[in-house]
Chains A and B, each alone.
Chain A
Amino acid sequence: MCSLRLYPAQLQHTMSQRSERRGIHVDQSELLCKKGCGYYGNAAWQGLCSKCWREEYQRARQRQIQEDWALAEKLQREEDAAAYASSHGSQATPRSQTSQTPPSLAPFSKFEEKKTNEKTRKVTTVKKFFSPSSRAAPKKDSHEAKSHSPSFPRQLSVDSERVSREFVEFLKNLQKPGREIHKQSRLFIESMAMKKDLGADELSECVQDFYQNMSDRLMSHFKGSSEKVERVMDQVEKYIMTRLYKSVFCPETTDDEKKDLATQHRIRALHWVTIQMLCVPMDEENPEVADSVVKAITDVIEMDSRRVPRDKLACITSCSKHIFNAIRVTKGEPASADDFLPALIYIVLKANPPRLHSNIQYITRFCTPSRLMAGEDGYYFTNLCCAVAFIEKLDAQSLNLSPEDFERHMCGQVSPRGPGEAAPWPHAGPALSQLRRNLELLSSLETRQQQVMDGAHSLQAELSSWQESVGREVQEILEKYPLEIKPHASAIDADNADSDLLPPPLQPQVFAG
């Protein structure tokens, strides 16, 4: 905004020149600043001159800032009151962040002022616990505002907020160490936000180091009660990974996405693999087994929608339990690994879970190590890894097929339902027969339509021939009985008065008299 203010006299000169040339006539009063300061205005400044516009703008802005402030203060007060009422106020963390967003538009000095303002107020309340978090919040906010990246949303998602709240709720029971845990976790999340560009392995290392440090400290605090440590670590993992999920799941620095697609294509190409080829002891005709299979498929697909590694693992475990149930119902005895692994492979092939590779990588990188290595969840996860490895390497031999058969299957030359083989999909049985019935119906409809069309054609031909014959008949009759128009006998020709036909003219009778 360079303040080039022109006096009317100056401008008039140039204007008059121009208007002479172009023939534009503008009333001079329309060009003046609306404030009436005597300078010219500009449409871009709402008809004001630059100086008046700037004044006006500043005023509006100031008003806006004041309003925002008032709003923020009000929210804060409400929040404090609510916190007091419940004597906890766990909601303070996420809410205070949002309420601080508007003032961040204000000049920075003001912002600082507000921050200190808030700090002092906070300390006087019982919410000492939250002071590190709320103090940290604006710092993070301003950082995010500066490096506005699309991959890191400024607003916390509903999920994150809920998890944060639960985390705080949980830590409250721990009192003093809880505060420390919360602070450390927050600091860690902030530090991770700066490390977005690191490779996946480095990110994993950071998180694992954090887990290790945290659990070491907890271990010494709880004096070796590993159960307590584990319980806290579960919450820490949940909180951290929910917050970091977006930036560390399938990061751009890796080729995870490419591999996801490759796995997906691979599984799709193997759609023809049957339960018999894999020697899976599952009888899908049995409704209970079929039900378990469907549940297992649902669970393994569900994995992708979870954020916390532990929750993802829980999906795998649940899927595995359904498989065990299916095998137990079929065989009448508990499943061993010899039954379980092929069944899992079959389920993965049928489910084609989304982003399978990414999910496995994510769990491997960010799960608390003890769970992955030894426990039950770890066992099922390992089986899933095996299943994926098997699917990637699967060849003719692993299905007891000849290489030629395998190739033909892969090219889609042989349908999954080979002769003598049972349908691979029991649910597809009725659907397929329905399909066939429909096809038959369609073809019979087609022949009937053809008949109708033929009938219509012959009718048309008949009609035209009838028309012809009628025409011909008419013609014949016309020829046989030509129309002769005979002159009318009684016609009187006025011009031919002498005609014989006319009675003799009346002669005047002379009466002698």
Chain B
Amino acid sequence: MTAMRVDVKVVMLGKESVGKTSLVERYVHHRFLVGPYQNTIGAAFVAKAINIGEKMITLGIWDTAGSERYEAMSRIYYRGARAAIVCYDLTDSSSFLRAKFWVKELQTFEEHCKIYLCGTKNDLIEADRSMRQVDYHDVQDFAEEIGAHHFETSSKTGNNVDELFIKVALDFSNSALELMRDEKGVDLGHKKDSYFYACCHH
């Protein structure tokens, strides 16, 4: 983790143990965690540069605590995010309900943030179809309704992981042309007042 210049803030949202960290770990280090390893000290924040055409885009990927006890604080996390990857576990229907909660939050408070729905642990489904608790088409419908993209990934096999993040970077690169022109990249100007107050002030 170097002090790389970060262009776009991507937050990972999702219930505990849906595999947010594994997803990031797979994408950044191309590996799946089985057993102990000591190479990196933290997977909570990573910066990863991607070449999109001639441009280099750096994704700053923010892991968030998924536990419900920190739910009230999640707004502090996704403030100013350009993209949110909302994860749910394909084998756990409750995780999808929680995902819906975050989608609603994002739509209300962070309209510039693009939403990506990501069903994780696809490898488990492929091994045993009966494990699936979240229907693909239901999510697809929901995604269309909210204007989000939908991916099913496996951090174990790496299936669809790169595609997801490349899509995030591509979308940013395209939207940046329009959006960034008038906002100069970081529009803290009118948001800075609420940066801390909105959540910590009661």
Binding site for B on A (CB under 8 A): 201, 204, 208, 212, 216, 226-227, 230, 320-321, 324-325, 327-328, 331-338, 340-342, 360-361, 364-365, 369-370, 372-376, 378-380, 382-383, 385-386, 388-390, 392-393, 397-398
A33–B50 CA distance with the chains assembled, in angstroms: 92
B25: chain A residues within 8 A (beta carbon): 334
B95 to chain A, nearest CB (A): 14
A324: chain B residues within 8 A (beta carbon): 41-42, 44
Contact B189 A208 (CB under 8 A): yes
Contact A385 B188 (CB under 8 A): no
Q: Does B146 contact A (CB under 8 A)?
A: no
A337–B16 CA distance with the chains assembled, in angstroms: 10
Q: List 15 A-B contacts (CB under 8 A).
A: A212-B184, A216-B184, A321-B42, A328-B41, A332-B38, A334-B25, A334-B41, A337-B66, A338-B17, A338-B67, A340-B65, A369-B188, A373-B9, A376-B1, A386-B73
Binding site for A on B (CB under 8 A): 1, 3-9, 12, 16-17, 20-21, 25, 33, 36-45, 47, 60, 62-67, 69-70, 72-73, 76-77, 79-80, 184-186, 188-189, 192-193, 195-196, 199-200, 202
The residue on B at minimum CB distance from A357 is B200
Contact B43 A336 (CB under 8 A): yes
A327–B20 CA distance with the chains assembled, in angstroms: 18
Q: Looking at the complex, which one of B33, B65, B76 makes contact with A333 (CB distance below 8 Å)? A: B33
B43: chain A residues within 8 A (beta carbon): 334-336
A177–B99 CA distance with the chains assembled, in angstroms: 51
Contact B73 A226 (CB under 8 A): no
A360–B186 CA distance with the chains assembled, in angstroms: 20
B43 to chain A, nearest CB (A): 5
The residue on A at minimum CB distance from B80 is A373
Given contacts A324-B44, A337-B63, A392-B202, 11 further A-B contacts (CB under 8 A): A227-B5, A332-B37, A336-B20, A336-B44, A338-B67, A375-B47, A379-B60, A382-B76, A383-B44, A390-B73, A393-B72
B188 to chain A, nearest CB (A): 3
| Majority secondary structure, A binding face | helix
A237 to chain B, nearest CB (A): 14
Contact B5 A337 (CB under 8 A): no
A385–B20 CA distance with the chains assembled, in angstroms: 21
Contact A321 B41 (CB under 8 A): yes
A320–B1 CA distance with the chains assembled, in angstroms: 13
A336–B45 CA distance with the chains assembled, in angstroms: 9
Knowing A376-B3, A392-B200 touch, does A340 contact B44 (C-beta < 8 A)?
yes
The residue on B at minimum CB distance from A366 is B192
Contact B70 A370 (CB under 8 A): no
A230: chain B residues within 8 A (beta carbon): 5
B79: chain A residues within 8 A (beta carbon): 382
* 3 tightest Cβ-Cβ pairs between the two chains A and B: A369-B188, A332-B36, A336-B21
A392–B69 CA distance with the chains assembled, in angstroms: 13
Contact B192 A208 (CB under 8 A): yes
The residue on A at minimum CB distance from B200 is A389
A161 to chain B, nearest CB (A): 28
Contact B45 A379 (CB under 8 A): yes
The residue on B at minimum CB distance from A216 is B184
A272–B65 CA distance with the chains assembled, in angstroms: 23
A373–B185 CA distance with the chains assembled, in angstroms: 11
The residue on B at minimum CB distance from A324 is B42
B192: chain A residues within 8 A (beta carbon): 204, 208, 364-365, 369
A334–B32 CA distance with the chains assembled, in angstroms: 12
Contact A201 B202 (CB under 8 A): no
A379: chain B residues within 8 A (beta carbon): 44-45, 60, 62
Contact A390 B70 (CB under 8 A): yes
Q: Looking at the complex, which one of A227, A338, A388 makes contact with B65 (CB distance below 8 Å)? A: A338
A370: chain B residues within 8 A (beta carbon): 185-186, 188
A342: chain B residues within 8 A (beta carbon): 65
The residue on B at minimum CB distance from A329 is B38
Contact B66 A338 (CB under 8 A): yes
Q: Looking at the complex, which one of A227, A333, A360 makes contact with B37 (CB distance below 8 Å)? A: A333
A364–B197 CA distance with the chains assembled, in angstroms: 10
Contact B3 A375 (CB under 8 A): yes
A389–B8 CA distance with the chains assembled, in angstroms: 25
Contact B5 A335 (CB under 8 A): no
The residue on B at minimum CB distance from A394 is B69
A374–B44 CA distance with the chains assembled, in angstroms: 13
Contact B16 A374 (CB under 8 A): no
The residue on A at minimum CB distance from B66 is A338
The residue on B at minimum CB distance from A399 is B69
A149–B134 CA distance with the chains assembled, in angstroms: 67
Contact B69 A336 (CB under 8 A): no
The residue on B at minimum CB distance from A370 is B186
B65: chain A residues within 8 A (beta carbon): 337-338, 340-342, 386
Contact A337 B36 (CB under 8 A): no
The residue on A at minimum CB distance from B8 is A374
Contact A389 B41 (CB under 8 A): no
A364: chain B residues within 8 A (beta carbon): 192, 195-196
Contact A341 B1 (CB under 8 A): no
B56 to chain A, nearest CB (A): 11
B21 to chain A, nearest CB (A): 4
A365–B194 CA distance with the chains assembled, in angstroms: 11
Contact B37 A335 (CB under 8 A): no
Knowing A328-B38, A372-B195, A373-B186 touch, does A398 contact B69 (C-beta < 8 A)?
yes
A364–B149 CA distance with the chains assembled, in angstroms: 33
The residue on A at minimum CB distance from B37 is A333
The residue on B at minimum CB distance from A342 is B65
A392–B199 CA distance with the chains assembled, in angstroms: 11
A382–B9 CA distance with the chains assembled, in angstroms: 13
B16: chain A residues within 8 A (beta carbon): 338
Contact B196 A397 (CB under 8 A): no
A337–B36 CA distance with the chains assembled, in angstroms: 17
